[in-house]
Amino acid sequence: MPSRLLCCLGLLMCCLAFVRGALADYPIEVIELKARTLDEVLPVVRPLVGDDAAVTGMGSNLIIKASPTQVAAVRKLLAEIDRPPKRLLITVSNQGENLGSTSGYAASADIKIGQGQVGINSPGRPVGDSQGRIALHDADTRRSRTASQQVQALEGRPAYISAGAQVPVHERQEFSVNGVPYRREVTGLRDVSSGFYVVPRVSGAFVSLEIMQHDDRRAGAGGRIDTQRANTTVRARLGEWVDLGGIDTSGSGSRTGLGYATRNQESTTQQIRVKVECLDCSSP
């Protein structure tokens, strides 16, 4: 053991020797960590031993002064968590569907009256005899979209993935100079991307996820951008899909007038799911 480490351990032992109560009779245990860091281990070990023990560390060594029962509990915990973090493959799927329908009718007529005529919803072209027309329309539309992202991550470590593009956005600016109003059109760039940030933690055959997901996309002409966000914590079995959330919207409208009527209906559904697969596990 290097002399510098021995000196530091000596100082720690002197500090721990002043701990009051029954701790004075317990030996100081030095446990070398194999895969985890002190920053990862100390927040887990301290609540386990409580205020009746002294826990600190240096380098890759955990230093504890506690009862044999508490030390045994710490060693048992370290046997479970002090190992190389598992490699995980995280997949987020975003599925959306838009359904629309429109129906109605439009009627027109040209009515001969003596030497003249009256047109209703008609351009009024000359006709020999009175005539009427009716047009029916009934149409359904369906649009679907599926987007997915994948990222490899280590359990307990944050991971982030995002992909997208910069799109031009047109804006109108109004300002004044010396009381004179001006207006100008400017074009800027805006990031439109999809991705997620996640922190996975594995426990047996299950994984808990702290996840923040986003999905931006252009919505037709005019520079409009649709956005969607989901921030949540979920627990799932390894290798199985679990729902993060969903959005359902619907609407309808109608227009009526002399000789015509139109009715529109539209509904949109969006479902967000996630799946975590363990790349280092023989079986979940």
pLDDT in tens, 96-128: 888 888 888 777 666 666 666 666 666 656 656
What value does the mean pLDDT take over residues 72-90?
A: 89
Containing H/E element for 10? helix 3-17
Return the pLDDT at 47: 87
Say what percent of the chain tops pLDDT 90. 13
Q: What angle do CA 11, 35, 61 make, to 5 degrees?
A: 10
pLDDT in tens, 164-192: 777 777 777 787 888 888 888 777 777 77
Higher pLDDT, 151 or 227: 151
Start and end residues for every CATH 3.30.1370.120 domain found in the chain: 3-81
Which CATH code is given to the segment(s) 3-81? 3.30.1370.120
> Residue 220: which pLDDT band, with cuts at 50, 70 and 90?
low
> Residue 252: which pLDDT band, with cuts at 50, 70 and 90?
confident
Return the pLDDT at 246: 78
- How does DSSP assign 81-119, residue by residue? HSSPPPEEEEEEEEEEEEEEEEEEEEEEEEEEETTEEEE
pLDDT in tens, 20-60: 444 557 888 899 999 888 888 888 888 888 887 888 888 88
Return the pLDDT at 240: 92
| Euclidean distance between CA atoms 260 and 98, whole angstroms | 26
Secondary structure of 196-208 in HEC code, one letter for each residue: EEEEEEEECCEEE
> Residue 72: which pLDDT band, with cuts at 50, 70 and 90?
very high
What value does the mean pLDDT take over residues 188-215?
A: 84
